[in-house]
Amino acid sequence: QQAQQQKGSVVDNIKKMEQQREERRKNMQEMKREKAEREEQNQILGKNVDVEFEIMIDKTRLKGGLIQEHQTTQNIKLCVCVRKRPIFKKEEVGGEIDAISCANPMIRVHEPKLKVDGITKYVENHDFQFDNTFSEVEQGKDIYDVSLAPLMDLLVNQGVVTCFAYGQTGSGKTYTMKSIQELLATDLYKLISTTPSYKIFVSFFEIYGGKCYDLLNGKAPLQIMEDKNNNIQIQGLVEKPSESEHELFQLMELANSVRTTHATVANDTSSRSHSICQIAIRQGYSDIGKLILVDLAGSERAQDTQSNNRQRRLEGAEINKSLLALKECIRAMDSGQGHVPFRASKLTLVLRDSFTAKSNKSRIIMIACISPGSSSADHSLNTLRYADRLKDKSNQAKIQL
């Protein structure tokens, strides 16, 4: 009887193995068919991508429509959000796969990898969660409406609102900032329309290699000084009055163009400089509110410390220092910690008011911009990790308790 039982289980095992083999064969056939179909489709679309990676990524994409509900981030001191820009046709022609998927508030980086054998492909997925994530089909207005628009009242109530765009070069920082500038120009004049004594003033400068240059005054160099009351002053910075929405928009456009003209592909300083637009609302000599828009240097430049060009290396070190200092200052402000180490870099020095204004009057919005291309996965991960560390999670846990 025992022998018969053993024989039975051997037969069972053989059957099982055959079934498994059959299943594997089917899967392989299915894979082949899928691959062939994709290849054909991609050829029509002009995409030169690795279809195996593409299929693997598509299988693990976050689900959810491209347009999502977003929460209004009015009542938090620090709002961290992410914007994914669309992938460009020329990137797909060049072999890039869209390696980011969003389902607000989640975002996933699909990182294509090879096993140690050097041939077996696999995809490593990395998930993050933020206050809001915006997909490639969402517009600047979608970000503005839930992040900045709800803070307008603060700007006539002694508030200081600071909005940053962070990310690698080409990820959409300037694109995002420009649409925010345009929307703000309209809303600011609506905001002050009922109080004719409120006036708007603009200054716009950049920090490059640790030095300041005036973008509303032909890039004139500027000195940062601290007066005897410990106020940070930028000596000689031109501040232009603006009388209308149109004038404000034109001033911002002028500064944007001064920032990027004369830049060549090989020497585009705009990716190595931080630009800072300050808009003050005043009544006579008293400050009513302040808005600061910061288009940060390309985050990948912080790695230029390994460049074999000395100038680049120094610039990279300066950018690295300022982005780290910014993180520390934002963390300190978010956690309500007394000491904000704003002296650690020129960037944080000139932004001192953003971190030290009375905490219920100060708001920070960080927009982390990411490029979707698979070859940017590494940079995108760095950007998302930076953004993720801005929030003092331990503090949030305490509040929830």
Number of residues that bind Mg ion (CB under 5 A): 2
Distance CA 28, CA 31 (A): 5
Residue closer to ligand ADP by CB (options 175, 249) is 175
Helix (H, G, I), strand (E, B) or coil at 39: helix
Q: How far is the CB of 175 from Mg ion (least distance, A)?
A: 8
**Hey, what are 147's tokens?**
């992040």
Strands 286-295 and 362-370, bridge-based pairing: unpaired
Residue closer to ligand ADP by CB (options 170, 316) is 170
Distance CA 44, CA 39 (A): 9
Q: How far is the CB of 154 from ligand ADP (least distance, A)?
A: 27
Residue from 147, 174, 256, 376 touching Mg ion (CB under 5 A): that is 174
Q: Return the half-sphere exposure (C-beta side, CA atoms, 13 A cut-off) of residue 46.
A: 7
Binding-site partner at residue 275 among ligand ADP, Mg ion, none, CB < 5 to 8 Å by type: none
Determine, following the binding rule CB under 5 A, whether residue 168 of this chain makes contact with Mg ion. Answer: no
Distance CA 244, CA 190 (A): 10
Residue closer to ligand ADP by CB (options 50, 268) is 268
In degrees rounded to 5, what are phi and psi of residue 378?
A: -60, -50
Contacts with ligand ADP by CB under 6 A lie at: 85-86, 167, 169-175, 271, 369
List for the chain the helix, strand, coil content (%; round to 5): 45, 25, 30
Residue closer to ligand ADP by CB (options 219, 259) is 259
CA angle 163, 168, 173 (to 5 degrees): 35
Residue closer to ligand ADP by CB (options 159, 298) is 298
Residue closer to ligand ADP by CB (options 123, 143) is 143
Minimal CB distance residue for ligand ADP = 172
CA angle 175, 180, 182 (to 5 degrees): 100
Q: How far is the CB of 270 from Mg ion (least distance, A)?
A: 5
**325-344 mask for Mg ion (x: CB under 5 A)?**
--------------------
Binding segment toward Mg ion, per CB under 5 A, in 54-62, 123-131, 154-162, 173-181: 173-181
Contact 293, 209 (CB under 8 A): no
Q: Which residues bind Mg ion (CB under 5 A)?
A: 173-174
